[in-house]
Structure 1
């Protein structure tokens, strides 16, 4: 019988796998490079000052200790290798972790598609630290505009027309059109320029055509310069070249153009498929490795690939855990079946899109209210839900004066230091 299960990664998939196995009485060790779990769908709110980083982060040791099982452990570490022959997970901290079953749930990171300069000069919001960096750069840029000349502008380019890119661009556009006249009366609305570049001919590709058109209309109404069929060719420190030969002077590039596997996964000896994702059987077992499962964004079933979203990750984590329990009960494998509960994205205050299975769609305030409710309910911990609800409500009812309720630090010209998540330089800040 399986006794020891190691789960690599504490995102949505890892959390759900852990909960299921701990409840069943297994000895579970959760491994993650951070001491907290981050609710990634709301990171853009941290990046734009809408939420505190603590609102969407939950201590993993508390998560582990709060489970119904009493044999759960947590190790803060990075996985450096996997010895499948001896069933050991090697980490950069502590002795190797032995396992009977292993669940890979390490998620994914940004995909720069080999575009020159993108990794070095663009910013991402896939982690708490990165969201804070973007926040500091945005609010520092606005503050610097207040002492510049009337012709000075701060240009933000968002690359990628998926949900993250749309949400980021929409929130920035509200700063431009509604908050600047109130919070920064010395600036004009044109002081902040928001550009969204998408290489395809539409935004939100997985959504219905009606929702794509609605999203495009809402963003442009808010003042976003949306450029479809526009691919990035090169990113520099202060400008971006596009594939059509044009260029754009920029102050900040936010990369939201897709996700890819973490580079270190290629050294773990796993069978890799498209995008560097771990190939799995229909029951989520890694191909050729009966004691290893892969779930969430890091996994792909070649014949039936799933979207890299929260709902598939949650369901995959639960399914993999149940497969382990079933195998110990003498039952055979069961193929994973995704229960599509719908997809949603927010554009800004009172504006969002929701698509349900079967084709039903919702837009506007009802969709926005549904989006808020679902995301607040999914946060880990009652305290986080209450804090996020209070901050969201205060920002909503006090808008636009609440646009800078939670402000960033001022970026200085001091030497940079590497970011622990991405390895790229971190903009130094000066506490106000």
Structure 2
């Protein structure tokens, strides 16, 4: 929005026509919310900014020398688009650490398709349980069902203080979740998981073990880190690529010899900084102040009625923290209608115990 009143012509390219509020994506997977409640059409979000053109396309190539990109659109084909400034904010994708075959049996959660796939699988299993119980055919006993969390690290939520990690581990135990720290997954197949040399049978395996950058930064031909993120200077510019910026999870940003965390608040701050920087450069003003990330704190929700918060010296957990988490996330939704619908659905689900989005879509 820093360029709203400038003479610049902005072209926003995305292979999807909607923006997703990622922190609540898991609630689509668990049937608490429907996709439309956490997503909004990009054209609708940018409708009031007259100098923005939204293009539904996928970037297939970047030519730094000629300052052009290639983008492929459905029904149109490949077109070339010139630029004076290029801002890459393509985020991350799941990483299976060289074992992409795991994806067939262990879906990740990065977009609406992933969420709906997970939801359909869980609902199908739940439906099977209800049918077998009503028919007194106990092939599946819900009392024997279990949730196992495998973590290669030493503790859950390693970015939080150890005291909060211990509280979260204790709360997970109360919820019946078995946490196995220091265990690496070796194989994932239709029978379950092999981890730490042991076979763990499972009908449902979900993957949250790692991410890597989208392939777009590598198209620049510049240096990237091990996760494929573009190395940028303190002004978020790509070295040896004039006029090219990378922000969010696609960028490897260093501050005080430490990496800036790949979280939403960092991406938002980086995007605003680049917008203001470009606006100043268009006016012929030189920007001297590099990007500085301000940590507003971290929050994590752990089931119903429980969350943890860490900001500087402040450490809180429990029901009140969960209410703060809910308030912050509702305010962060992109549109007023999303905020109202999510509040209404949360209240309904909280007091009735029912979930709104329980349809199982037919396969294409």
Whether contact under 8 Å (1:42, 1:56) holds in the other structure is yes
Distance 1:385 1:270 in 2: 40
Partner of 1:75: 55
C-alpha displacement of 1:247: 1.1
Change (3 A) 1:333 1:119: farther
Deviations 1:363-421 (CA, angstroms, capped at 9, x unpaired): 0011101110111101111111111111111111212xx1x43203167xxxxxxxxxx
Structure 1 residue 409 and structure 2 residue 360: aligned? Answer: yes
Deviations 1:65-102 (CA, angstroms, capped at 9, x unpaired): 123xx211000111101111111111112521211000
Whether contact under 8 Å (2:28, 2:34) holds in the other structure is yes
Structure 1 residue 29 and structure 2 residue 3: aligned? Answer: no
Partner of 1:7: none
Counterpart selection for 1:324 from 278, 290, 301:
278
Distance 1:330 1:40 in 2: 35
SS of residue matched to 2:194 = strand
Whether contact under 8 Å (1:140, 1:410) holds in the other structure is no
Alignment of 1:65-214 (within 5 A): 65-67=47-49, 70-93=50-73, 94-115=78-99, 117-148=101-132, 149-152=137-140, 188-190=142-144, 192-214=145-167
Distance 2:162 2:260 in 1: 20
Whether contact under 8 Å (2:230, 2:246) holds in the other structure is yes
Deviations 1:232-265 (CA, angstroms, capped at 9, x unpaired): 01111222111x2101111121111122112354
**Number of aligned residue pairs:** 353
SS of residue matched to 1:20 = coil
Change (3 A) 1:105 1:116: closer
Structure 1 residue 249 and structure 2 residue 201: aligned? Answer: yes
Distance 2:152 2:278 in 1: 42
Whether contact under 8 Å (1:46, 1:131) holds in the other structure is yes
Question: Unpaired segments of 5 or more residues in structure 2?
Answer: none
Distance 2:173 2:198 in 1: 21
C-alpha displacement of 1:25: 4.4
C-alpha displacement of 1:116: 6.3
Partner of 2:269: 315
Change (3 A) 1:250 1:125: same
Change (3 A) 1:116 1:96: closer
Whether contact under 8 Å (1:198, 1:231) holds in the other structure is yes
C-alpha displacement of 1:360: 0.6
Distance 1:363 1:134 in 2: 28
C-alpha displacement of 1:227: 1.2
Change (3 A) 1:408 1:124: farther
Distance 1:376 1:23 in 2: 29
Change (3 A) 1:77 1:116: closer
Whether contact under 8 Å (1:323, 1:333) holds in the other structure is no
Distance 1:331 1:294 in 2: 19
Deviations 1:321-341 (CA, angstroms, capped at 9, x unpaired): 111122233213421100110
Distance 1:38 1:332 in 2: 32
C-alpha displacement of 1:105: 0.4
Distance 1:251 1:382 in 2: 39
Distance 1:81 1:270 in 2: 14
Change (3 A) 1:116 1:380: closer
Partner of 2:253: 301
CA RMSD of aligned residues (A): 1.7
Structure 1 residue 281 and structure 2 residue 233: aligned? Answer: yes
Change (3 A) 1:39 1:312: same
Whether contact under 8 Å (2:64, 2:220) holds in the other structure is no
Partner of 1:160: none
Whether contact under 8 Å (1:116, 1:235) holds in the other structure is no
SS of residue matched to 2:359 = coil
Whether contact under 8 Å (2:2, 2:279) holds in the other structure is no
Question: Unpaired segments of 5 or more residues in structure 1?
Answer: 1-18, 154-187, 412-427
Deviations 1:202-236 (CA, angstroms, capped at 9, x unpaired): 00000011110111011110111211111101111
Alignment of 1:263-282 (within 5 A): 263=215, 265-282=217-234
